[in-house]
Amino acid sequence: MKSDSSTHPCFNKNASGKYGRVHLPVAPKCNVSCNFCNRKYDCVNESRPGVTSAVLTPYQARQYMRLVMEKAPYISVAGIAGPGDPMANASNVLKTMKFIKQDFPEMIFCLSTNGLGMPGHVEAFAEFVSHATITISSADPETGGKIYSRVTDGKAIYSGAKGGEVILSRQLRAIQELKSHGVAVKINFIAIPGINYEQVENVAKIGAYLGADLMNIIPLKPTEDTAFAHLKEPSGKEISELRKKAEKYIPQMTHCRRCRADAVGLLGNDLSSEMAPGLFRCSKMSCEEEKKEYVAVATREGILVNEHLGKASGFHIWEKTETGAGFVEERKAPLPGGGDLRWESLASVLHDCKAVLALQAGTAPEDALKKHKIKVLLCSGLIEDAVEAFFSGKGTEFFTPRRSGVGGGCCSGRGEGAGCC
């Protein structure tokens, strides 16, 4: 998606007095532990990343967005910045964006992430996201190890310099992949006294080299019950000096308000306190589960069910019709790599599907999709026959492995003679 920052209040200072943003708190889980972050405390008068008055499901976020737009129609950006990390909540984030896009097609979408889980999933997000912020507070693994107490990559947990190395490599790769998809990238640098001031020029140089568009140096806000609680908040003079060093390489953002995960309104006129009651009400809504209408098919050429679920580059989507079944559209699958996050992304891609038909499937995607009430059914044969059999209610009988076709069923062979298995 090609980025346009003319109406993005964070990427364009001139737009900040006219256009607003709303942060939708649909990402509670996080994949890193930062020594400056504590998400337990929330005061509506406190503005800092990681805090929110409530956490929303995608369905609740849709209702809240409608409420926000009634109050503040000048909102141009829907951002997701926590309270955890969007990429640790990929399925919820993608589903939220799909809902908002349906209701407000002109809305700009923005993500703020630590970058660890972004590589390999950029293509899925780039369909919606035109602007992204990656927090990189060090270009040195040793220093990174002092900032992150824990980095969780799938089932692996790292600390110290190794954790700093893992997250830095992902952050840099994330910038490259985002820029290759035309996404505008801002780097957030948390300035921490005695820890990373000497890193600011290195981060600025590398960010500029990789094509990042903007850098935002944010002073540490010491927070109770964190490893950095004893540190002093950087002064305005210190931040100004750091910006002077960095601006030699990359443009600097100077109008940041250190936004909450539920920030809403203009940067200079935040409505978080005013909207907090509405946010809380939406978080208590009993939202109906989205009605699942479709069936997805893993296919190589669009005629047969003949592709492994994990190898499919895309899926054909079918719906029930008065005469049987009809083709709806083709959807791209998440790119290979990324472990469990890939299957969460796939669940979001197939969010409105009852089932996915594939020739074969591994247990990991099958388990992940099952959590989202999407069945994985193995078979082979003509797509139209298989889908019609499923919609007709013959699914259980039909998908039982057999050597030959099922009489009266959808599949009398592999398109030429083999049964469904």
| Domain ranges within the chain, ordered by starting residue | 13-283, 294-398
Q: Which residues contact 407 (CB under 8 A, 6 or more apart)?
A: none
Residue 42 has what pLDDT? 44
| Structural class in CATH, domain 13-283 | alpha beta
pLDDT at 339: 74
The predicted structure's pLDDT at residue 329: 83
Question: In the prediction, which pLDDT does 205 show?
Answer: 97
For domain 294-398, the question of CATH label 3.90.550.10 is answered with no
Looking at residue 148, its pLDDT comes to: 93
- 96 vs 7, 24, 254, 275, 320, CA distance in Å? 21, 9, 30, 19, 25
- Antiparallel, parallel or unpaired: β 129-135 and 148-153: unpaired
What is the pLDDT, as a whole number, of residue 396?
Answer: 38
Contacts of 102 (CB under 8 A, 6+ apart): none
Residues of the chain with pLDDT under 70: 1-2, 39-50, 286-291, 338, 394-421
Question: What's the confidence (pLDDT) of residue 179?
Answer: 95
What's the confidence (pLDDT) of residue 283?
A: 86
Give the model's pLDDT for residue 48. 56
pLDDT given at position 44? 41
